[in-house]
Amino acid sequence: MQVVILADGAAVADYGAKVFKQQIAQKPNSVLGLATGSTPLALYKRLIAAYQAAELSFAQVKTFNLDEYLGLAPEHPQSYRAFMQQHLFAHIDINPEHTYVPLGAAADPWQACMDYEQLILNVGGIDLQLLGLGRNGHIGFNEPTSSLQSRTRIKTLTAQTITDNARFFKAGEYQPHLSITMGIGTILEAKKIMLLATGSAKAPAVQALVEGPLSAVCPASALQLHPQAIVVVDEAAASALQHQAFYRHVAKETAALYQRSQRQP
């Protein structure tokens, strides 16, 4: 696992956008795994700006989102489909038929989970998976105690996740307590994974995922098993890490190595 510590949230978004742009430049028909929440927003703004500046095109790209609230139709303003449409898809040249989000309003949600797994297999898997990080260590909606080999499935949200996400719902508005999410096993099959985390509230979860034991209690710790996982954090989110100096040293030496070899990281 590579840990990159940057000054602030803006630098984290810049770094993340650079990784996405490199991925699309190297493989224009990339399959991208996407995330919702507050952390990816700055990254998506940078990708939109890069598209508007004609620096990249999403015309051949396919996307798969991590999760969706169970029971919300795609047009519901609090659905993750609506979130992606508002904050990314409507502003780039991606084919709408190539943007996949779990069907939260499916008549048979269990079948929808199996269908989602098959869709990912049909396109050859995900090339680059973006992750955020919950304060309790969740990735996607894989809450603590989730199986590290889990597949796309229905999950019950913890009280903390419900509370954290309540700010997106109006007073009195129905807030789902269930979701459809890619499983941890599904996420780990991506060829490359990039997790972004910012702010001091995420510091304990960052420390657990990087330096804690591999444990279902911290679902994000499963990234320790992945050969190409990168964790990009700001100073505040890195504040609980015990080996910051080493991570900075590794990042410096890795950058120098790639510069000498003239290869992209």
Catalytic residue among 65, 136, 142, 165: 136
Q: Does the annotation mark 235 as catalytic?
A: no
Backbone torsions φ then ψ of 229, nearest 5 degrees = -105, 135
Q: Tell me which amino acid residue 181 is.
A: T
Q: Report the alpha-carbon distance of residue 90 to residue 93 in Å, rounded.
A: 8
138 is known as an active-site residue: yes
Give the residue among 29, 32, 15, 132 at the shortest CA–CA distance from 88: 32
- The active-site residue, picked from 143, 164, 189, 234, is 143
Exactly one of 127, 138, 142, 165 is catalytic; which is it?
138
65, 67, 127, 234: the active-site residue: 67
Q: What are phi and psi of 218, to 5 degrees?
A: -120, 90
Q: Under 8 Å CB-to-CB from 60, ≥6 apart: which residues?
A: 28, 29, 30
Q: Is 164 a catalytic residue?
A: no
Distances (CA, A) of 214 to 20, 161, 250: 27, 21, 22
- For this structure, is 93 an active site residue? no
DSSP state of 108: S
Q: What is the dihedral of CA 209, 215, 218, 221, to 10 degrees?
A: 30
**Catalytic residue numbers?**
67, 136, 138, 143
